[in-house]
Amino acid sequence: MNPTTTTDREQWLAQRLALLAREKELSRLGDELAEARRALPWVRMDKRYVFDTPEGPRGLADLFDGRSQLLVQHFMLGPDWEQGCKSCSFMADHTDGMLAHLAARDVGFVAISRAPLAKIERFRRRMGWNFRWVSSHGSDFNRDFGVSFTPAEVAAQSMHYNFAQRPFANDEMPGVSVFAKNGAGEVFHTYSTYGRGVEVMMGTYRLLDLTPRGRHEDGLDNTMGWVRHHDRYESAPAAKAGGSCCGSRA
């Protein structure tokens, strides 16, 4: 890899300071968006969902684990899938280290998939994760939150995802949703994000964005075609990897 251009330290610093001004502008915009996100109205969750958990059947309110806020990863692992989505696994690889810090700010975390609990537990053990992961198998939860689709929708490649009608060939898609619970135990939906919004869980991407080659995804069949389950990387990855199950930029 060769540098695109070279310069002396003084010229580099001048350009770096100009970029810093733009970075600070982006940070301030991010703060404004976060404030607007917090100001969104809440939607009361009147529909009851039952999840299969290692502790037995539990409702959505039970998943908060004593906290008033809950982050949910809509993890792509369908009932007939043999393993979890590589990209969702890439997201989940960042989770365990955050749990204590989230809990310190009154936030719980759970991953939810449509696969039966036994299949979830088998894959979780393989990947070595400790975060809570439950099954929505047999409920409408994934459908209602726009991350699972019927065979007819898949065949037509037309599903309502990321707040619009879009063509995808998968019956599962990724997402992150946020819920809150008040003192009376009532649960509210406060926010959901899909498509590139799920990059909020991908700290590796933020570090790659600092490097000269960046994410280095140009020329791949899809943007996350290089991603593997962390126990499937080769010691010397090929320059161009195969496909991923959810590399959309939607």
* CA dist., res. 238 & res. 250, Å (int): 26
Residue recorded with tokens 């990209």: 87
- Nearest CA to 87 among 237, 198, 178, 4? 198
Question: Rounded CA gap, 43 and 188, in Å?
Answer: 5
Which band of pLDDT confidence, cut at 50, 70 and 90, is reported for residue 250? low
CA angle (184 as vertex; 178, 189 as ends), nearest 5: 20
How far is Cα 186 from Cα 45, in angstroms, rounded to an integer? 8
Rounded CA gap, 13 and 120, in Å?
Answer: 50
pLDDT interval class at 62 (50, 70, 90): very high
* Residue type, position 44, single letter: R
For range 183-190, the mean pLDDT:
97
pLDDT of 237: 45
Q: What b/e string do you get for 218-248 counting C-beta neighbours within 10 Å, with b at 16 or more? A: eebebbbbbbebeeeeeeeeeeebeebbbbb
Please state the rounded mean pLDDT for residues 18-22.
Answer: 98
Average pLDDT, the chain: 93
Give the pLDDT confidence score for residue 1 in this predicted structure. Answer: 78
Res. 248: pLDDT tops 70 = no
pLDDT band at 3 (very low <50, low <70, confident <90, very high): confident
Buried b (16+ CB within 10 A) or exposed e, 150-179: eeebeeeeebebbeeebebebbbbbbbbbb
Q: What local confidence, expressed as pLDDT, does residue 246 receive?
A: 58
pLDDT over 70, % of the chain: 94
- What is the per-residue pLDDT for 241? 37
* pLDDT tens string 93-145: 999 999 999 999 999 999 999 999 999 999 999 999 999 999 999 999 999 99
Q: Looking at the predicted structure, is the pLDDT value of residue 244 above 80?
A: no
Is the pLDDT at 239 greater than 90? The verdict is no
Asked whether residue 240 carries a pLDDT value surpassing 90, the answer given is: no
Is pLDDT of 169 > 90?
Answer: no
Tens digits of residue pLDDT in 31-59: 999 999 999 999 999 999 999 999 999 99
Residue 224: C-alpha distances to residues 76, 229, 238 (Å): 15, 12, 14
Looking at residue 245, what is its pLDDT?
57
The two three-digit tokens of residue 161, written as one number: 């995802």
pLDDT for 236 equals 40
